[in-house]
Amino acid sequence: GAALDRFVYVDEATCIGCTNCATVARSTFFMEQMYGRARAFRQASFLSGGDSEDTIAEAVATCPVDCIWYVSWDDLVALETERKY
* pLDDT > 50? residue 82: yes
Is 37:15 a contact under the CB 8 Å cutoff? yes
User: Across the chain, what does the average pLDDT equal?
Assistant: 88
**What pLDDT does residue 83 have?**
75
* pLDDT > 80? residue 5: no
State which amino acid sits at residue 60.
Answer: V
* Residues 35-72: b if buried by 16+ CB within 10 A, e if exposed: eebbbbebbbbeeeebbeeebbbebbeebeeebbbebe
Q: How far is CA 77 from CA 9, 16, 40, 57, 73, in A?
A: 10, 23, 13, 21, 6
Domains in the chain with CATH codes:
7-83 (3.30.70.20)
Which band of pLDDT confidence, cut at 50, 70 and 90, is reported for residue 65? very high
Summarised one tens digit per residue, pLDDT across range 27-62 is 999 999 999 999 999 887 655 678 988 999 999 999
* pLDDT > 90? residue 69: yes
**pTM assigned to the model:** 0.85
